[in-house]
Amino acid sequence: MIRDIGSQRILNVDLSSGETWVEELPQEELLRFLGGRGVAARMLYERVPPGIDPLGPENILIFSPGTLTGTSAPSSGRSSVTCKGPATGLYLKVNAGGHLGAELKYAGFDYLVIRGVAEHPVYLWIKDGEVEIRDARHLWGLGTREADRLVKEELGDDEIQTGLIGPAGENKVLFSCIIFSQFSSASRGGVGAVMGSKNLKAIAARGSGALRVAEGEEFFDLAAQIRQELAQDPEMEFSYRWGTAGSIPGCVELGQLPSYNFSRVGIDGAEKLSGQYLEDEGYLTGRESCFSCSTACHRFVRTKVHRYGEVQDSGPELETVCSLGAECGIVDTEAVIKGNQLCNDYGLDTISAGHVISWAMECYEKGLISEKQADGLDLHFGNDVSMLELIRRIASREGLLGDLLANGTKQAAEEVGGDSWKWAIQAKGLEQSAIDTRMAKGYALAFAVNPRGPDHLMTEPIAESGPTEEARHLIGKITGDEKYADATLTEKRADIVRWHEDCYAATDGLGFCAFTSTASYAVNPDNMAQLLGHALGIQFSEEQLMLAGRRIVTLERCFNVREGARREDDVLPWRMMNEPVTEGPQKGLITDKEELDWMLDQYYEMHGWDPQTGIPTPKTLKDLGLLESCGDIVTD
């Protein structure tokens, strides 16, 4: 079956009743929300009533590849997964690469919406317009690698693409993830627990269909031009050669390597965590691309010393070497590779896994978790054996500590008490990713207003520090003056963050990789809009694209407002706002409450949100065409 890009189809599955049905998405909705993340946000708002239990049957889980996923648009193979998040009780969108999104498209569907709870473990088999709910009791309890292998074996096709959970998702760990195509991870906020709560072990997709763009020649030429630009981009070449962990030496040089649960910004021996070290020392064995990507930043590694037995796996990424490594006071390369493998197999988000462990280590060293409460583990920083054992116990919720940490640092700190909440590096219930927001004001603002919690995967204003001429040019375009390409300034951060929010939402809507649009800039709002226009055979402008991005961001805000979130929830972890950087070139820097409040005022005003509450005003909703659907949140 060949489908036009603009003829989008929604596959609905009710696991409680076993019913499945298909809806067509009106093209008008596609243009308003761009597809992918945007349409998913729209469906979440409409279909999930306020106040429901994220792990109950009323929550829905939406898989939504980008609108251009499955085409030759470069680096456009990414998919969003959206639901009400169990870690925060708020909006949750995660995003992953791999090949599952394109396969879903070729199988005839642009969105997969799952509701209800199956009576026993099941998996979905989606092939060429058909869907089957199959028994997965024999897969329950298995790691993601083995489950993936068995699903393919059972269905007799090695080319099947899967999205599946491991034991952590089955046990509803609040930072469990979904693994796509074996090596990509939709990670944050406990999306795997939502899948587990539905007794859904896996999704398997295979399609022999195709997608048709309306203006093929123009689309192909522009895609080729962007691909060429990406191929010449040194950052992409860098990413290919060393992966994201190639940033470690730069982080060290800048004094920006979060270590020891963010209490320090550097660690001796950090080079052993770097992508360069993985290559130089022979750990790196290969590289892998997501669908339609020519960069191949994914790693394959193999331990050479075999201290932990033979380990061959994907990654580790920058965030992982920081969270399981430096944050836990560990620079043992093999230990981090092993920890990464365990997280992938159990289906755990490495960012939160590392951070709950480093939080526990700090509690242990400060006497708030005793050896008995630690179930006999020595939790001093640097103990890699304990780090690895804790990953296993968390995934299976084994013992007092494993069960405690499986609920994330927010809940764990409430249980442990004392001052432990001060070094719980979380906000809204999500652990912060390994970017030190004390040193970068735009990041601080972006993290505070992020609807899912403080991380870099909803908005990433890399350009704010002006690391390259392209970045400075972008800052000049956004703010009117390149002098604002300075991350230590609070001025114009609201402008910078809002532009990146809009761009990131559009990037996710169409399925592009954010590395190409908010890091290298070869993919930009102008050429994204042109590609979408060529795909649909219409005129579509950069302004329309960015407005749609803002509509998505505002809709996501509305979801959280309806759940009770207000301005006071737009905060950063306590340590990030109260303990200045203690060492290195950034010593003394802090983004305190006063600075954050000032930036929030600018940000709300720019968005047209009430500065007292953070709620979008009726005028804003009207201007964005959201008043009819989201008017229930405003009181005016």
Partner 1 sequence: MPHIRLRFFGLGSRASGSHLETRFVPEGTTIQELLESVRSSADDHDFLARMNERQVSILLNGKLIRRAEGLQTILGQEDVVTFMVLVTGG
Applying CB under 8 A, the residues found at the interface with partner 1 are 233-235, 237-239, 241-242, 244, 246-250, 253-255, 271, 274, 276-277, 280, 297, 317-319, 322, 433-435, 456, 460, 462, 465-470, 472, 482-483, 485-486, 515, 519, 584-585
* Shortest reach from residue 372's CB to partner 1, in Å: 36
Contact 38, 29 (CB under 8 A): no
Cα–Cα distance, 453 to 225 (Å, whole number): 36
* Shortest reach from residue 233's CB to partner 1, in Å: 8
Helix (H) or strand (E) holding 206: strand 200-206
Closer residue to partner 1, CB minimum distance, 431 or 460? 460
Contact 199, 117 (CB under 8 A): yes
Closer residue to partner 1, CB minimum distance, 15 or 485? 485
Cα–Cα distance, 25 to 28 (Å, whole number): 8
Indicate the Cα dihedral angle 481, 482, 488, 490, nearest 10°.
20
* Shortest reach from residue 218's CB to partner 1, in Å: 28
* Shortest reach from residue 240's CB to partner 1, in Å: 11
Closer residue to partner 1, CB minimum distance, 465 or 602? 465
Residue whose entry in the numeric block shows the structure tokens 């298909």: 22
Contact 506, 523 (CB under 8 A): no
HSE-up of 34 (CA within 13 Å, CB side)?
40
Burial of 232 (0-12, 13-18, 19+ CB in 10 A): exposed
Closer residue to partner 1, CB minimum distance, 346 or 515? 515
Q: Cα 219 to chain center, whole Å? A: 28
| Rg of the chain taking only CA atoms, in angstroms | 23
Among candidate residues 532, 553, 560, the one with its CA nearest the CA of residue 606 = 553
User: Which pair of structure tokens corresponds to residue 501?
Assistant: 């929010």
Cα–Cα distance, 541 to 262 (Å, whole number): 42
Closer residue to partner 1, CB minimum distance, 322 or 406? 322
* Shortest reach from residue 350's CB to partner 1, in Å: 11
Closer residue to partner 1, CB minimum distance, 33 or 515? 515
Cα–Cα distance, 100 to 98 (Å, whole number): 6
DSSP 133: E
Closer residue to partner 1, CB minimum distance, 235 or 495? 235
* Shortest reach from residue 243's CB to partner 1, in Å: 9
* Shortest reach from residue 475's CB to partner 1, in Å: 11
* Shortest reach from residue 517's CB to partner 1, in Å: 12
* Shortest reach from residue 587's CB to partner 1, in Å: 10
Cα–Cα distance, 385 to 366 (Å, whole number): 20
* Shortest reach from residue 264's CB to partner 1, in Å: 16
Among candidate residues 211, 115, 258, 225, the one with its CA nearest the CA of residue 579 = 258
Helix (H) or strand (E) holding 91: strand 91-96
Burial of 282 (0-12, 13-18, 19+ CB in 10 A): exposed
Cα–Cα distance, 409 to 430 (Å, whole number): 8
Sign of CA dihedral 369, 373, 375, 376: positive
DSSP 327: G
DSSP 433: P
Closer residue to partner 1, CB minimum distance, 440 or 630? 440
Cα–Cα distance, 608 to 551 (Å, whole number): 12
Closer residue to partner 1, CB minimum distance, 297 or 335? 297
Closer residue to partner 1, CB minimum distance, 32 or 472? 472
Cα–Cα distance, 8 to 36 (Å, whole number): 11
* Shortest reach from residue 522's CB to partner 1, in Å: 12
Helices (H), 68-108: 100-106
* Shortest reach from residue 318's CB to partner 1, in Å: 3
DSSP 321: I
* Shortest reach from residue 486's CB to partner 1, in Å: 7
